[in-house]
Amino acid sequence: MNRYSTEDTLTASDGENRQYLVFSLGEEEYAIDILKVQEILGYENVTRIANAPEFIKGVTNLRGVIVPIVDLRIKFNLDKVDYDGQTVVIVVNVSERIVGIVVDGVSDVMTLTPDQIKPAPEFGMSLSSDFLSGLGSLENRMLVLVDIDKLLNSKEMSLVDQVGD
Amino acid sequence: MDITDFYDTFFEEAEELLADMERHLLELDVDNPDPEQLNAIFRTAHSIKGGAGTFGFEALQNTTHLFENLLDHARHGELKLRRDIVDTFLETKDMLNDQLTAYRNGEEPDQEAFERICKTLRQLALEEIGNNLEGPGPAAAPATKPQEPASAPEAETPPQAETAPTTEAPAGEQLLIALLGVSEENRALLVEELEQFGTIHRRSGDESRYEVVLETTTSADDIESVMCFIIEPEQIETSTVLAGQSSAEATEPRAQQPTPAQTEPAEQSAATAPAAEAPAPAKAGPAIEPPEQPPADPKKPAGKPAAKPKPKAGAESSSIRVSVEKVDQIINLVGELIITQSMLDQTVSELDGVTNGALINGMSLLQRNARDLQESVMSIRMIPMDFVFSRFPRVVRETSSKLGKEIELCTEGESTELDKSLTERIIDPLTHLVRNSLDHGIELPEEREAAGKPRRGKLTLSARHQGGNIIIEVIDDGAGLNRDRLLAKARESGLNVSDSMTDDEVWQLIFAAGFSTAKEVTDVSGRGVGMDVVKRNIQSLGGHVQIMSTPGQGTTIRIVLPLTLAILDGMSIKVGQEIFILPLSTVLQSLQPTKDDLYEMAGQDLVLRIRDEYLPVVAVHEAMDVADAQTDPLQSIAVIVQGEGRRYALLVEELIGQQQVVVKNLETNYRKVPGVSAATILGDGSVALILDIPGLHQLSLSKKDAQGPRSRAPKKAPLSPTEVDLS
């Protein structure tokens, strides 16, 4: 794996720079705020929940806590959805809820400076730009910065009981 | 050691004593008071006074002093009790409580209130017995030397197991009381005190051991509890002297050494009382139990009853206060332990038993210990319903006198245990229901007489276990609910009702928001807020409310609650490759359906006939979308379950077994799932969903609605089963 930002990593404590966990969905690279990440697990032992949207794989037992598992690959309409030894669950902690998200792999932790973050253009159907905090540009890579808080709390994820539901 | 260290102990003790006092006052039959009970009330006041004196709480001491003197006259029959006097006593008790709270917060009690209550008590004494209460009461002496007991034992040498002179004890119910290491001065006080209880037949001995033979009807325990405020509990030994028995024999075995002075008897008794006596520290209110002969203590010589019966209050007071969060944390951890243990167990069971014998034995031991641990931990949270019921005598007394009604309160099943968090949350709804029954249920005495019923209404609170539930009932023998008035009122409030509604449906109307049929709004109830809140509160605890009412005979309001929210007895079932849990309390029976039992109605809904009842069939694989499941009803097992008063037949593939499961909330991190009430973790660490029966039925209906080509028959259409060939 190539390292582009070793120096940035060293200055991570700088208030303006933020660290992101980079993960892959298919060929694309996404990133979420590292402070939201609680831990990373393998994908196993998920109990299906009936009548839930397809991208909600079910719930799993995380040391006694029942955690829902969301497959972002299905949510983002990726063609290939396999569950193998490489499949990874990123456990994130958003608004005092713990949710696991299934991704194809986790690559590295990057530090982005504010000028590396560009506003996100209008996207297609599967991922509204409301859920993006921008695009991270690094020499020859582009990271889609996901606002995981907004995404997981959104109505279309149906992870949360909506008022008046 | 600083005396303030013992404040908390005193406060807690005094609180318990006051609670006892209130209970006795409420139970007291004014016309024919039980002397035992009067004594008990007197002793609580006396004990509080002693403690207050020791700690220098003057207002409290003075109030209790006046109160105690009045009580003393009452127990000697010099003060004729009346209802209003008991009310004054109750008021005094409340005042004492306020004073206690003030001291606890490090404040001085309200001087004005103090003077007022003193005046009331003096007035009462003047009017009733012509006594100004200022003379030293018969039991006032000990309190005037509150510091004495603290210093007394210090100077003493440990008592030796000397043999007391043998004397022929006179026949009769006699107690031998031995005072160990008590100074001359205190001895005189104690003897004086003991004379209050009966006749002293003999007294002898010296400082290290002074024996008094007392003929009395008071139990040894009661005597000890009074003396404990003068000397340490372990300085007293009491035993029954049977006729013709030597007193020396009766006092074996000897007590332990007096420990360095401590001002708090309870502290000491807990720490140093000999094992045989430890469970019953002569603390708080041992006086509340009628004297009883306890089983002989094995450590005492055979044939002699143990000197200290173990009173109920004694057992309660030897408790510690722990925050519920800590207990919950332990429960969670134990739950984790059980799961880990089951996982290990599964791994070990695959090992060769010959080479790994020790490991397998160890595992089974671990399993047993883990289960025992879980059981014990769970029982920490369970507390008796008495905790709830004990506050109602006062509520009933006050409400009924406000309403001008005569009401007797009965409680049943006080020892029924319930999860602490539920107990706390049931108090408010229950108080509401009780007030409601008092106000609307039970009629005025005149109306009752006119209806040929006793003047005195009866309100019963009962609790009992039924399956995994606790059933709490508020039963009154009042007029019952008035169907016509309820319907009229409902129409007035714009509710959609019809005359063809069943009684049950009509009764449920009282839970509608803003609904009240009281002719007038009273300050007790009748504003129409409340009953809907009651119902909502109870539903939020996972329970429901039923009403049974017979005109002229009364109303029963029944609350059905799960015993605990933390664990559940479950039946695990298998559908396809998936495992679900059914709450065992909902399962009635299971059977293999035959072709003759199954009927199809409206083209697609199945019903199962069982003992002339037609039950809607809910196929779990359909409702839960299970792939590769057995779809043929004849190859499935029908589990008859009950939910919200209705019965259903669930079609499942396999019954796996019963197990206790730890309930885990799905909504913590996810959302409510239709047909599922919660989740749990199985032995292999995977998650299983706990099914919600009514929700499941709704789910299968809505699924059929969504996919069914034909509109469904209305729910209440008469059943017209037509047999179909299902094979």
Residue of chain A minimizing CA distance to B682: A61
Q: Is the domain covering A6-151 a CATH 2.40.50.180 domain? A: yes
A61–B685 CB contact, under 8 Å: yes
B214 versus B134: which is more confidently predicted? B214
Answer for the pair B553, B480: CB distance below 8 angstroms, yes or no: yes
Lowest mean pLDDT among A146-155, B192-201, B340-349: B192-201
**CA distance, residue B4 to nearest chain A CA (Å):** 43
A51–B699 CB contact, under 8 Å: yes
Residues B535, B666: one domain?
no
A51, A61, A159 ranked by CB distance to B670: nearest: A159
Residue of chain B minimizing CA distance to A65: B664
Residue of chain B minimizing CA distance to A67: B669
Q: Give B627's contacts in chain A (Cβ within 8 Å).
A: none
**B261-265, B278-282, B496-500 — which one is most confidently predicted on average?**
B496-500
Lowest mean pLDDT among B77-81, B185-189, B239-243: B239-243
Supply the mean pLDDT for chain B. Answer: 73
User: Which of B667, B668, B670 is the mutation pick for testing A, counting most A CBs within 10 A?
Assistant: B670
**CA distance, residue B260 to nearest chain A CA (Å):** 50
Residues B242, B333: one domain?
no
B578, B679, B686 ranked by CB distance to A45: nearest: B686
**CA distance, residue B691 to nearest chain A CA (Å):** 11
B681–A97 CB contact, under 8 Å: no
Answer for the pair B705, B712: CB distance below 8 angstroms, yes or no: yes
Q: What is the mean pLDDT of residues B121-128?
A: 80
Of all residues in chain B, the percent with pLDDT exceeding 70 is 70
A47–B336 CB contact, under 8 Å: no
Q: Which amino acid appears at position A132 of this protein?
A: L
Q: Give B672's contacts in chain A (Cβ within 8 Å).
A: 161
Beta partners for residue B599, in sequence order: B607
Q: Is the dihedral of CA B223, B226, B230, B235 positive or negative?
A: positive
The answer to whether residue A90 scores a pLDDT higher than 90 is yes
The answer to whether residue B246 scores a pLDDT higher than 50 is no
A49–B669 CB contact, under 8 Å: no
Q: How confident is the model at residue B82 (pLDDT cuts 50, 70, 90)?
A: confident
- Give me the helix-helix angle, B58-75 and B35-55, nearest 10°: 160
CATH of the domain at B644: 2.40.50.180
Q: Report the pLDDT value the prediction gives residue B317, as an integer from 0 to 100.
A: 56
**CA distance, residue A136 to nearest chain B CA (Å):** 30
Inter-chain Cβ pairs, chain A and chain B, closer than 8 A: 73
The answer to whether residue B250 scores a pLDDT higher than 60 is no
Residues B552, B614: one domain?
no
Closest to B558 measured CA to CA, from B476, B483, B641: B476
**B358-362, B599-603, B656-660 — which one is most confidently predicted on average?**
B358-362
Number of other CB atoms surrounding residue A42 within 10 Å = 11
Peptide bond into B253 cis (omega under 30): yes
The distance in angstroms from the start CA to the end CA of chain A is 46
| Helices marked H in B130-219 | 141-144, 148-151, 184-195
Residues B395, B467: one domain?
yes
Q: Report the pLDDT value the prediction gives residue B170, as an integer from 0 to 100.
A: 42
Q: Establish if B717 belongs to a structural domain.
A: no
Residues B543, B616: one domain?
no
pLDDT in tens, B297-356: 444 444 444 344 444 444 445 677 777 778 878 887 887 787 788 778 878 888 887 888
Q: Which amino acid appears at position B143 of this protein?
A: A
Residues B555, B415: one domain?
yes
Q: Establish if B692 belongs to a structural domain.
A: yes
List residues in chain A touching B: CB distance below 8 A: 45, 47-52, 58-61, 63-68, 97-99, 158-161
The answer to whether residue B610 scores a pLDDT higher than 70 is yes
Specify the number of domains making up chain B: 5
CATH of the domain at B231: 3.30.70.100
A64–B689 CB contact, under 8 Å: no
B264 versus B652: which is more confidently predicted? B652
Answer for the pair B412, B460: CB distance below 8 angstroms, yes or no: yes
- Could you list the residue range(s) of the whole structural domain that residue B371 is in? 324-381
User: Which of A41, A43, A44, A49 is the mutation pick for testing B, counting most B CBs within 10 A?
Assistant: A49
Per DSSP, B177 falls in state: E
**CA distance, residue B624 to nearest chain A CA (Å):** 5
Residues B500, B583: one domain?
no
- Token code pair at residue B664: 């885990």
Question: pTM for the full model?
Answer: 0.51
Closest to B338 measured CA to CA, from B582, B670, B566, B561: B566
Q: Which amino acid appears at position B672 of this protein?
A: K
Q: Establish if B725 belongs to a structural domain.
A: no
**CA distance, residue B621 to nearest chain A CA (Å):** 10
Q: How confident is the model at residue B145 (pLDDT cuts 50, 70, 90)?
A: very low
The answer to whether residue A13 scores a pLDDT higher than 70 is no
Residues B557, B680: one domain?
no
Question: What does the DSSP assignment read for B437-456?
Answer: IIIIISPPHHHHHHTTS-SS
List residues in chain B touching A: CB distance below 8 A: 332, 335-336, 339, 578, 623-626, 664-676, 679, 681, 684-689, 699
Q: Report the pLDDT value the prediction gives residue B462, as an integer from 0 to 100.
A: 93
Q: Report the pLDDT value the prediction gives residue A38, as an integer from 0 to 100.
A: 92
Q: Give A48's contacts in chain B (Cβ within 8 Å).
A: 578
**Length of chain B counted residue by residue:** 727
Residue showing tokens 């799961």:
B339
Of all residues in chain B, the percent with pLDDT exceeding 90 is 4
Lowest mean pLDDT among B287-301, B505-519, B570-584, B593-607: B287-301
The answer to whether residue B545 scores a pLDDT higher than 70 is yes
Beta partners for residue A93, in sequence order: A98
Residues B175, B243: one domain?
yes
Q: How confident is the model at residue B146 (pLDDT cuts 50, 70, 90)?
A: very low
B578, B666, B674 ranked by CB distance to A59: nearest: B666
Q: Establish if B261 belongs to a structural domain.
A: no
A66–B676 CB contact, under 8 Å: no
Q: Give B673's contacts in chain A (Cβ within 8 Å).
A: 49-52
Q: Is the dihedral of CA B270, B276, B280, B282 positive or negative?
A: negative
Q: Give A45's contacts in chain B (Cβ within 8 Å).
A: 684-687
Residues B487, B620: one domain?
no
CATH of the domain at B79: 1.20.120.160
Q: Report the pLDDT value the prediction gives residue B461, as an integer from 0 to 100.
A: 93
The answer to whether residue B171 scores a pLDDT higher than 60 is no
Q: Establish if B501 belongs to a structural domain.
A: yes
Q: How confident is the model at residue B580 (pLDDT cuts 50, 70, 90)?
A: very high
pLDDT in tens, B618-657: 888 888 888 888 788 888 899 998 876 678 888 999 898 8
**CA distance, residue A57 to nearest chain B CA (Å):** 12
Q: Report the pLDDT value the prediction gives residue A31, as an integer from 0 to 100.
A: 92
B624–A98 CB contact, under 8 Å: no
Q: Give B685's contacts in chain A (Cβ within 8 Å).
A: 45, 61
The answer to whether residue B603 scores a pLDDT higher than 50 is yes
Residues B182, B124: one domain?
no
Q: How confident is the model at residue A123 (pLDDT cuts 50, 70, 90)?
A: low
Q: Report the pLDDT value the prediction gives residue B295, as an integer from 0 to 100.
A: 44
**CA distance, residue A85 to nearest chain B CA (Å):** 19
Lowest mean pLDDT among A123-132, B530-539, B613-622, B687-696: A123-132
**CA distance, residue A60 to nearest chain B CA (Å):** 6
- Token code pair at residue B679: 């989740």
Q: Report the pLDDT value the prediction gives residue B528, as an integer from 0 to 100.
A: 47
Q: Where are the beta strands (DSSP E) in B671-724?
A: 676-681, 687-691
A68–B623 CB contact, under 8 Å: no
Residues B112, B186: one domain?
no
Q: Report the pLDDT value the prediction gives residue A21, as an integer from 0 to 100.
A: 93
Q: Establish if B277 belongs to a structural domain.
A: no
Residue of chain B minimizing CA distance to A50: B624
Q: Establish if B523 belongs to a structural domain.
A: yes
B164 versus B41: which is more confidently predicted? B41
Number of other CB atoms surrounding residue B146 within 10 Å = 20
